[in-house]
Amino acid sequence: MSIKELVQRNAAEDVIKVGPDTWMILSKEGWYLWDKAQCNAPKKVPISKDIDIPVLKLIYLLSPTLMGIKPATTITIIAWKEGRSLNLNTWRKHKREIMDQFYPVKELALIRRENSELVLFYNPLPLKRLLAERDISTFYQHLKYPLDSLGAFLENLKERCKVSGALPPESGVVLGIPLRDVKGYMGISKDSLCTVRGWKMFGNPDKSLRVYRLYKEAQQRTTELIKKMPLTQVIDELKTGSMGVEV
C-alpha cells in the first residue's frame, strides 16, 4: 500500500515524514505510524481532538535528544499549509513557548530561507560531553572548529552552513552518528561502506547498529507514552527516563 492510498483511506489532515521510511499520518480520529521498510499496516495511536500537533511531531523526532542519548537533531521546517501542522509560520510565531516545554533542549537556526529553516535542536550537556571526548575534539580541531566554548563551536557551524548553504558532513558527529561513519562518509578513512540504517555505516557496523537501535527504541517508547498520558507528561517522562547505555 502506498502512502497516497493510506492518506486517502484514513482521511488524513496532515502527513509528516519522521524518518527515512517512516510517516506520521494525522487524521481526525487519531494519528498513525507507517513504516515503509517493514511494509506493515499503519499503527493507530489515539489522540485527543485538541492535541498540539507541532509539539507532537517534535516530541517524536526529538525524543532521543530529550533523553540525552543523541546530542542533537536537525529538522527542516517549511512553509507549506496552515493548520495544525508544524509549519514555518507556526514555528516563528510560537517558537519560544514551544521550546519552553522542551527545556533543557535548545534550538539554533542554521540556515534561514524565505520558505524554510534548518533548525538544530541540541541538548547542551550531552553535546559538551561529546565534544570533550579526545577523538572527537581532535577531529574538530583538525577541521579548525573552535572548542573553547559550546557557543563558539555552534556559531562556527552556523557560519559554515551559511557559506555553503548546506549542513557540512562533519556535523554528523553532533547529530549522534559515530565518528567512524562520519569519517567514512567524508572519505578520510580506509573503512568501506558496509550497510545503511538511517545513515551510511562504514567498517564493522556493530557499534553503529547499536546506536541506531537505541534511537529507534527511544521513538518507540515515546509512541507508547503518547498513548497513555498528556504531551506535557510525555516530555517530563522522557527527560527523567533516560535510556542511556554504553555503546
Query: Mind listing the pLDDT tens digit for each residue in 22-34?
Result: 777 776 666 676 7
**Most confident of the following: 15-29, 66-80, 153-167:** 153-167
Q: Of all residues in the chain, what percent carry a pLDDT higher than 90?
A: 54
pLDDT, residue 245, reads 42
Burial of 148 (0-12, 13-18, 19+ CB in 10 A): exposed
| Nearest-angstrom CA–CA distance, 147 and 132 | 8
| Nearest-angstrom CA–CA distance, 188 and 170 | 11
Q: What mean pLDDT do residues 101-124 have?
A: 95
Backbone angles phi, psi at 19, to 5 degrees: -170, 170
For residue 36, pLDDT over 70 is answered with no
Domain residues of the chain, as ranges? 1-46, 47-239
Q: What mean pLDDT do residues 181-205 have?
A: 95
Q: What mean pLDDT do residues 114-121 have?
A: 93
- For the chain, report the end-to-end CA distance as a whole number of angstroms: 36
| Nearest-angstrom CA–CA distance, 25 and 13 | 8
Answer positive or negative: Cα dihedral of 33, 240, 130, 58.
positive
pLDDT, residue 225, reads 87
**What is each CA distance from 241 to 44, 57, 186, 220, in whole angstroms?**
24, 19, 35, 14
Q: DSSP state, 111?
A: E
**What is each CA distance from 169 to 8, 185, 221, in whole angstroms?**
37, 8, 29
Q: Of all residues in the chain, what percent carry a pLDDT higher than 70?
A: 74
Among the ranges given (5-14, 127-136, 206-215), the one the predictor scored with the smallest mean pLDDT: 5-14
pLDDT, residue 90, reads 83
| Nearest-angstrom CA–CA distance, 40 and 96 | 37
Give Cβ neighbours of residue 152 (< 8 Å, ≥ 6 apart): 146
pLDDT, residue 247, reads 43
Q: In what order do the strands lie in the sheet with 72-78?
A: 72-78, 116-122, 106-113
| Nearest-angstrom CA–CA distance, 130 and 141 | 14
Mean pLDDT of the chain: 84
